[in-house]
Amino acid sequence: MPLGQLLVDGLAMGACYGLFGLAVVIIYKTSEVLNFAAGETAMVSTFVAYHIMVISGYNFWIAFVVALIFVGILGIAIEYFFLRPAKNPTLLGLIVITIGAQMLLMGMASWKWGAEQKQFNIPFSYKVTHEPISGFIVSEWAIAVFVVAAAVMTFLYFFFKYTKIGTAMRATQQNKHAAKIMGIKTDRVFAFSWAFSSIIGALAAMLLSAKNILDPGFMMESFLRAFASAVLGGLMSIPGVLIGGFIMGLVENFFGYVMPAWKPITAFVVIVLVLCVRPSGLFAKHWVKKV
Amino acid sequence: MRLNKVMLVMLVAFCAVTLTAYEGLAQKAGFDDKEIRIGQWGPQTGPAAPWGAVARGTKVIFDLANEEGGIHGRKIRYFIRDDQYNPSQTMAGVRDLVDRQGVFAFVGGVGTAPGLAVQQYLKQKKIIWTSVCTGAKGFYQPHNPYLWGVWVLYEDDGSIITKFLVEKKKFKKIGYLYQNDDWGADAMVGIKKRLKTYGMELVAAVPVEPTERDLSSQIARLKASGAEAVIGMVAPTSAAIALRTAVSVDFHPQWIHSYNLTDFMLMNHITDGLWAKEGVMTSAFTEDIFDTRIPIIKKYTDAAKRLYPQERWGIFFAAGIVVAEPLVEALKRTGRNLSTQAVANQLNNLTFQGMGPKIKWTAKNHRPPRELRIWQCGPKGEVIVVQDWSVNELPLSF
């Protein structure tokens, strides 16, 4: 068994899942909405970056910044036009709304850029490889993934702990009504958290498509993995999600190596097992409401 | 008075039903003095849309026939139904074409699952259907008197590729990356049967689900097996991801894929040039569609440029011509006295080669040809023919 390779590949993919899982968790933490449109929002932003690079001819970094600004606005638009108008929505109602947004975004991407597969390149190529230890081949793409995941994680730590908006987001998550009484504009917090999570999702999507393929369906499978990572780490724990992503990537890679035919169901098995054994995930505190 | 009203409503309803039925009956023949109606389904939208070019490519050959005054004075009226690669939508489209438009025949039709969804219906309706776009054996077992195959069986595909790798390229360790469905399973039968004749076995056989986007573990397994060559029976997206992942871990076997991946332009684009750099090979079921020195290729290339300049001349678009050629030939040979049986008789005795492989159908054998070529993607993305038409001489497993 090529232990080193499975380890490196598993951790790199796991970092992508964890990063994308963060996008799901930030919205869930703030508004308790499971955003099923997260994958497609990220997919559209990658297409925007692709469009700016390939069709308009600008360099990657310009495309990258414009795509991040675009996806932030898109996140706010989804929250403002789709979720905010819903009056006293149930959990199922919110899920259906995000599924509707998902279908709309996918249809728009297919219409605008077509269903044919495209390549999306970032400056950190999967083709350039290093072998620091025998059997551990690390591509520049994988290094970029680790660096971005570490940077985002560090940023989130300081953001939630030391910034006003981060504290407001935590307060809104803990008690929306109390936060309102304390003068926090919760509607703005929700809009900000949608923008913020969409930007993190877009980062993950750009990294994933640089290794794989860009087409309107490319984030569907990754969303499932990211969701499994979030459930595994705990939907309320930000570091837990990233660790959940790493575990998910490793489990999937090792399991896929030994029993490749069963690899696609790994994410489902993880979700079911965690929900049965520890519903709040490995790293989130299990709250029991006492009456 | 009330009874009269009820009677009147019933009479109107009866007339409507009768007229509709009459219209259906009138169109059932599928042709009249001026036109022959032919249909095809294919994904024009949705994730499989790149394969939808097949249905659009067919327009070229029908338009050419119509420009020449039609076939024995009858113009071809061609219908396309977008099924989004969804079998339930295939059925809806086919029923519409058969029951409402009254088509005479179908050509092509992309995909195993969409084809299987309408197979029995078309057979019951005795509608002629040539060249379903899949090499799954399920279409020819049992014998369907109204279906004639052009798309080479996947079992033959696997066998011909393996023979090439072992006999011509002298590879000793062959791995297999396959889509976990009938396609991969059918081809595996051909591969294993061929390897057995050399006393060899696959060093690794690794399945892939078409929706999977991370193939790290599959590639790790193939690399660990020591495979010198890897046969791929996977969709374009999976093939591209597999190649990218292999390069990212310094794994450079000789990749050779099925004939469904002969669109080198597309594959080279989505693999960032790796398709050419790694010299990927595929089996192929046509002449080199870019070699305009071949008269038939020049004829169709010129026509496609003139009639549909907005379309890319790729393998799927060209395949639309391949699937329709035998039916056009049979219609020409049938003459003015057209009927389903008359055309079926011609197809049952058809020996023909157009842009695709050589067809030889008999009343008892409607199976597709058993020959393929092998192409390699050259350094500039061009086609290099590394082996001309080669027949699988081993008996089929069914």
Per residue in A21-75, pLDDT (tens digit) is: 999 989 888 877 888 999 999 999 999 999 999 999 999 999 999 999 999 999 9
Please state whether the peptide bond connecting residue B295 to the residue before it is cis, i.e. omega within 30 degrees of 0. Answer: no
- In chain B, the percentage of residues whose pLDDT exceeds 70 is 92
> What was the pLDDT predicted at A273?
87
CA–CA gap between residue B230 and residue B222 (Å, rounded) = 8
To probe the interface with B, which of A1, A6, A7, A9 has the most B CB atoms within 10 Å? A9
> What was the pLDDT predicted at B98?
95
- In chain A, the percentage of residues whose pLDDT exceeds 90 is 48
Tens of pLDDT, residues A153-179: 999 989 988 999 989 988 888 888 888
- Paired tokens of A96: 């259906």
pLDDT at B6 over 70: no
pLDDT (mean) for A213-228: 89
Tens of pLDDT, residues B158-199: 999 999 999 999 999 999 999 988 889 999 999 999 999 999
pLDDT at B48 over 80: no
**pLDDT mean across residues, chain A:** 89
CATH T-level fold of B31-152+290-367: Rossmann fold (3.40.50)
Confidence of residue A233 (pLDDT cuts 50, 70, 90): confident
> What was the pLDDT predicted at B28?
54
pLDDT (mean) for B355-382: 93
Contacts of B207 (CB under 8 A, 6+ apart): A260, A261, B178, B179, B180, B184, B218
> What was the pLDDT predicted at B397?
86
B299: closest CA of chain A, how far (Å): 27
pLDDT at B2 over 60: no
Tell which wins on pLDDT, A21 or A94. A21
- Paired tokens of A141: 């793409």
User: Exposure of B364 by Cβ count < 10 A (0-12 exposed, 13-18 middle, 19+ buried)?
Assistant: exposed
Judge whether A9 is closer than 8 Å to chain B, CB to CB. yes
Confidence of residue B85 (pLDDT cuts 50, 70, 90): confident
- Paired tokens of A193: 């958290």
Judge whether A115 is closer than 8 Å to chain B, CB to CB. yes
Instruction: Write down the pTM of the prediction.
Output: 0.85
List strand residue ranges (DSSP E) for B143-198, in order. Answer: 147-148, 174-179
Which of A9, A254, A264 is nearest residue B212 as measured by Cβ atoms? Answer: A264
> What was the pLDDT predicted at B92?
96
> What was the pLDDT predicted at B21?
47
A127/B272 touch (CB, cutoff 8 Å), yes or no: yes
Contacts of B374 (CB under 8 A, 6+ apart): B160, B161, B164, B256, B281, B282, B283, B284, B385, B386, B387, B390
- Chain A's closest residue to B179, CA to CA, is A261
> What was the pLDDT predicted at B346?
97
B270/A218 touch (CB, cutoff 8 Å), yes or no: no
Interface of A with B in 240-279 (CB under 8 A): 252-257, 260-261, 263-264
> What was the pLDDT predicted at A291?
52
To probe the interface with A, which of B214, B261, B277 has the most A CB atoms within 10 Å? B214
User: Exposure of A90 by Cβ count < 10 A (0-12 exposed, 13-18 middle, 19+ buried)?
Assistant: exposed
Edge-to-edge strand order for the sheet containing B75-82? B75-82, B35-42, B105-107, B128-130, B147-148
Cβ contact B198:B162 at 8 Å: no
Which of A121, A137, A257 is nearest residue B272 as measured by Cβ atoms? Answer: A121
CA–CA gap between residue A9 and residue B220 (Å, rounded) = 9
- Paired tokens of A254: 């090792």
A5/B249 touch (CB, cutoff 8 Å), yes or no: yes
B216/A110 touch (CB, cutoff 8 Å), yes or no: no
> What was the pLDDT predicted at B26?
43
Contacts of A59 (CB under 8 A, 6+ apart): A53
Count of CB atoms within 10 A of residue B91's CB?
16
Count of CB atoms within 10 A of residue B141's CB?
12
Paired residues of B177 in beta bridges? B206, B232
- Chain A's closest residue to B43, CA to CA, is A115
CA–CA gap between residue B81 and residue B118 (Å, rounded) = 13
Closest CA to A235 of A275, A188, A290, A266: A275
B180/A261 touch (CB, cutoff 8 Å), yes or no: yes
Partners of B274 on chain A (C-beta within 8 Å) are: 127
pLDDT at B25 over 60: no
Of B41-50, B285-294, B316-325, the least confident: B41-50
Residue boundaries of the structural domains of chain B: 1-27, 31-152+290-367, 154-284+374-391
Confidence of residue A102 (pLDDT cuts 50, 70, 90): very high
Backbone angles phi, psi at A16, to 5 degrees: -65, -45
Of A82-91, B247-256, B281-290, B328-337, the least confident: A82-91
CA–CA gap between residue B7 and residue B314 (Å, rounded) = 60
pLDDT (mean) for A230-242: 86
- Paired tokens of A73: 């606005």
Tens of pLDDT, residues B93-118: 999 999 999 999 999 999 888 999 99
CA–CA gap between residue B139 and residue B212 (Å, rounded) = 27
**pLDDT mean across residues, chain B:** 91
DSSP character at residue B203: S
DSSP character at residue B373: E
- Chain B's closest residue to A127, CA to CA, is B248
To probe the interface with A, which of B45, B54, B86, B216 has the most A CB atoms within 10 Å? B216
> Mapped to the 3 state alphabet, what secondary structure does A11-27 carry?
HHHHHHHHHHHHHHHHH
A10/B216 touch (CB, cutoff 8 Å), yes or no: yes
Judge whether A54 is closer than 8 Å to chain B, CB to CB. no
User: Which CATH entry fits the domain spanning B154-284+374-391: 3.90.1150.10, 3.40.710.10, 3.40.50.2300, 3.30.450.40?
Assistant: 3.40.50.2300
Confidence of residue A89 (pLDDT cuts 50, 70, 90): confident
> What was the pLDDT predicted at B9?
61
Sequence-distant contacts of B3-8: CB under 8 A, at least 24 apart: none
B245/A211 touch (CB, cutoff 8 Å), yes or no: yes
pLDDT (mean) for A265-284: 83
A115: closest CA of chain B, how far (Å): 6
> What was the pLDDT predicted at B50?
75
Count of CB atoms within 10 A of residue A11's CB?
21
Partners of A6 on chain B (C-beta within 8 Å) are: 216-217, 220
Count of CB atoms within 10 A of residue B144's CB?
17
∠ Cα B114 B48 B143 (to 5°):
25
Helices (H), chain A: 3-31, 38-50, 60-78, 91-113, 140-162, 164-174, 176-181, 186-211, 220-233, 238-258, 266-277
Cβ contact B232:B256 at 8 Å: yes
> What was the pLDDT predicted at A99?
92
Residue with token string 């008197």: B145
ipTM of predicted complex: 0.85
∠ Cα A9 A12 A14 (to 5°):
105
Cβ contact A146:A11 at 8 Å: yes
List strand residue ranges (DSSP E) for chain B, in order. Answer: 35-42, 75-82, 105-107, 128-130, 147-148, 174-179, 204-208, 229-233, 254-257, 281-284, 351-352, 359-360, 371-377, 383-391
Cβ contact B269:B244 at 8 Å: no
Residues across chain A: 291
> What was the pLDDT predicted at A289?
55
> What was the pLDDT predicted at A262?
87
Cα–Cα distance list, B209 to A216, B132, B135, B184, B343 (Å): 18, 23, 19, 10, 40
A110/B46 touch (CB, cutoff 8 Å), yes or no: yes
Residue boundaries of the structural domains of chain A: 18-217
